[in-house]
Structure 1
Amino acid sequence: MSNLSGYDSEVVGFESVTRNKSSESDNGTQTSEFAEVGASSQTNLSVDSGCNVTPEDLNVTESVLRQYPPPGLNGFLRRVVPAMMDQLNQNDKEIIDNSSDSDDEELVSAKLFQEVEVKTEHRLGSGDHQSPCVLSLSWSSAGNSLAVSIGYTHHENWCEHDGLIRIFTVKRTAGDKLVQALDITEKNCVSLVQYHPSVAALLAYATTSGEVVICNLRNSLDYHEGAQLTSPSGCHGSKRVSALLWADQSLANIFLTMQIKNTGKRRGAADQILFSSGSDGTINVWQVNSSSKVFENVVSYAVNGSRKLATPDITCFDFIKSYPLRPSDDKVADDVFVVGTKSGALYLCRTKSCRQIAGSNVLDPVYEVLEGHSTCILEVAFSLQRPGVFASVSIDSELKVYDMNQAAPLKVICLDVPISSMCWLPNNPSVVVLGLAADPQRKHSLAVYNVCSGRTLPVDGFAGEGTVTSLSVNQSGSCRIAAGDSASIVRVWDLPSRKIRLSSEDLEF
Structure 2
Amino acid sequence: MFNVKHNECVGFESRWRVKKVSSVGSTQTTDYSKAEMETSPPEKKDTQVQTETPEGATSVQVDEEKLAEWLRKIYPKVKKELDDSANSRAFKGYKLSTDSSDANCKLVQILNVASQVKDAEIGSYVSAMSWNSTNQTLAVSCTYKHNSWCYHEGVVAIYTLDREDNLPETPRVKLTTESCVTELRFHSVLPAIIAAGLFSGGIIIWNIQKEDDQVVAKVEGHGDGITQLSWIIDINSAKNVLLASSGLDGLLSIWNFSLNESALTIKERHQIRSQLMPKNSESQEETVKKIARGVTCFDFSKYSPEIFVIGGEGGLVVQCSLLGSRKLQGSKDEAPLLDSVFKYYEGHKGEVSSIKFSPNRREMFMTSGSDSEIRIYVVDQEEPAQVIFLKQPLLDVSWVPYEERIICGCGKNGVIEIYNLLKGKAIENTTKEKIKSEIMTQVEINKTKSNIVAVGTESGHVQMWRVPWALFGNLSL
Q: TM-score, normalised by structure 1?
A: 0.67
2:350 to 372, 375, 381: 375
Answer whether contact 2:307 2:322 (CA < 8 A) is retained: yes
CA RMSD in angstroms comes to: 2.4
Cα gap change, 1:403/1:230 in structure 2, threshold over 3 Å: closer, same or farther? same
- Counterpart in 1 of 2:69? none
Cα gap change, 1:403/1:94 in structure 2, threshold over 3 Å: closer, same or farther? closer
Deviation string, structure 1 residues 211-234 (Cα, Å, up to 9, x no partner)? 111111123x22xx1542112x3x
1: CA distance between counterparts of 2:310 and 2:393?
A: 22
Answer whether contact 1:145 1:168 (CA < 8 A) is retained: yes
- Counterpart in 2 of 1:304? 273
- Counterpart in 2 of 1:147? 139
- Counterpart in 2 of 1:26? none
Deviation string, structure 1 residues 321-353 (Cα, Å, up to 9, x no partner)? 21xxxxxxxxxx442111012210101111102
What SS is found at the alignment partner of 2:473?
A: coil
What SS is found at the alignment partner of 2:470?
A: helix
Residue 422 of structure 1 aligns with an amino acid whose one-letter code is V
- Counterpart in 2 of 1:457? 427
Deviation (angstroms), 1:133: 1.3
Residue 480 of structure 1 aligns with an amino acid whose one-letter code is I
Residue 312 of structure 2 aligns with an amino acid whose one-letter code is T
2: CA distance between counterparts of 1:175 and 1:426?
A: 18
Deviation (angstroms), 1:182: 0.9
2: CA distance between counterparts of 1:424 and 1:299?
A: 29
Residue 263 of structure 2 aligns with an amino acid whose one-letter code is V
- Counterpart in 2 of 1:446? 416
2: CA distance between counterparts of 1:458 and 1:306?
A: 39
2: CA distance between counterparts of 1:353 and 1:218?
A: 40
Cα gap change, 1:149/1:429 in structure 2, threshold over 3 Å: closer, same or farther? same
Aligned pair 1:320/2:301, yes or no?
A: yes
1: CA distance between counterparts of 2:469 and 2:275?
A: 45
2: CA distance between counterparts of 1:435 and 1:145?
A: 22
Deviation (angstroms), 1:107: 4.3
Cα gap change, 1:181/1:367 in structure 2, threshold over 3 Å: closer, same or farther? same
Answer whether contact 1:413 1:454 (CA < 8 A) is retained: yes
Answer whether contact 2:403 2:473 (CA < 8 A) is retained: no
Cα gap change, 1:488/1:176 in structure 2, threshold over 3 Å: closer, same or farther? closer
1:467 to 420, 439, 459: 439
2: CA distance between counterparts of 1:412 and 1:306?
A: 23
1: CA distance between counterparts of 2:194 and 2:310?
A: 23
Answer whether contact 1:448 1:457 (CA < 8 A) is retained: yes
Deviation (angstroms), 1:150: 1.2
Aligned pair 1:386/2:375, yes or no?
A: no
Cα gap change, 1:417/1:305 in structure 2, threshold over 3 Å: closer, same or farther? closer
Answer whether contact 2:204 2:215 (CA < 8 A) is retained: no
When you count helix as a share of all residues, which structure comes out higher?
1
Matched ranges for 1:219-234 at <5 A: 219=210, 221-222=211-212, 225=213, 227-231=215-219, 233=220
Answer whether contact 2:416 2:429 (CA < 8 A) is retained: no
Residue 355 of structure 2 aligns with an amino acid whose one-letter code is V
2: CA distance between counterparts of 1:169 and 1:464?
A: 25
What SS is found at the alignment partner of 1:500?
A: helix
2: CA distance between counterparts of 1:480 and 1:226?
A: 29
2: CA distance between counterparts of 1:472 and 1:385?
A: 18
Deviation (angstroms), 1:116: 0.3
2: CA distance between counterparts of 1:482 and 1:362?
A: 37
2: CA distance between counterparts of 1:481 and 1:226?
A: 28
Deviation (angstroms), 1:486: 0.9
Matched ranges for 1:231-250 at <5 A: 231=219, 233=220, 235-237=221-223, 239-247=224-232
Deviation string, structure 1 residues 386-437 (Cα, Å, up to 9, x no partner)? 1110111111211111001110110112112342111111011132111121
1:181 to 168, 172, 188: 172
- Counterpart in 2 of 1:138? 130
2: CA distance between counterparts of 1:489 and 1:430?
A: 29
Aligned pair 1:214/2:205, yes or no?
A: yes
1: CA distance between counterparts of 2:460 and 2:338?
A: 39
2: CA distance between counterparts of 1:363 and 1:339?
A: 14
Matched ranges for 1:310-349 at <5 A: 310-322=291-303, 333-349=304-320
Residue 202 of structure 1 aligns with an amino acid whose one-letter code is I
Answer whether contact 1:107 1:458 (CA < 8 A) is retained: no
Answer whether contact 2:451 2:466 (CA < 8 A) is retained: yes
Cα gap change, 1:132/1:405 in structure 2, threshold over 3 Å: closer, same or farther? same
Answer whether contact 2:356 2:365 (CA < 8 A) is retained: yes
What SS is found at the alignment partner of 1:178?
A: coil
2: CA distance between counterparts of 1:393 and 1:498?
A: 24
1:290 to 250, 256, 259: 259
- Counterpart in 2 of 1:58? none
**Number of aligned residue pairs:** 361
Structure 2 stretches of 5 or more lacking a match? 1-95, 277-288
Q: Relative to structure 2, which stretch is displaced further, 305-314 or 184-193?
A: 305-314
2: CA distance between counterparts of 1:344 and 1:338?
A: 13
Residue 418 of structure 2 aligns with an amino acid whose one-letter code is V
Answer whether contact 1:110 1:460 (CA < 8 A) is retained: yes
Matched ranges for 1:121-136 at <5 A: 121-124=118-121, 132-136=124-128
2:372 to 397, 404, 429: 397
Structure 1 stretches of 5 or more lacking a match? 1-92, 99-105, 126-130, 258-268, 323-332
What SS is found at the alignment partner of 2:359?
A: coil
Q: TM-score, normalised by structure 2?
A: 0.71
- Counterpart in 2 of 1:55? none
Cα gap change, 1:306/1:459 in structure 2, threshold over 3 Å: closer, same or farther? closer
Deviation string, structure 1 residues 227-279 (Cα, Å, up to 9, x no partner)? 42112x3x322x100111111xxx32x1558xxxxxxxxxxx7x531100010
Residue 388 of structure 2 aligns with an amino acid whose one-letter code is I
Q: State percent identity of aligned pairs.
A: 26
Deviation (angstroms), 1:498: 2.4
Structure 1 stretches of 4+ with a deviation exceeding 6 A read none
Deviation (angstroms), 1:152: 1.2
Residue 320 of structure 1 aligns with an amino acid whose one-letter code is S
Cα gap change, 1:457/1:190 in structure 2, threshold over 3 Å: closer, same or farther? same
Answer whether contact 2:325 2:338 (CA < 8 A) is retained: yes
2: CA distance between counterparts of 1:255 and 1:283?
A: 18
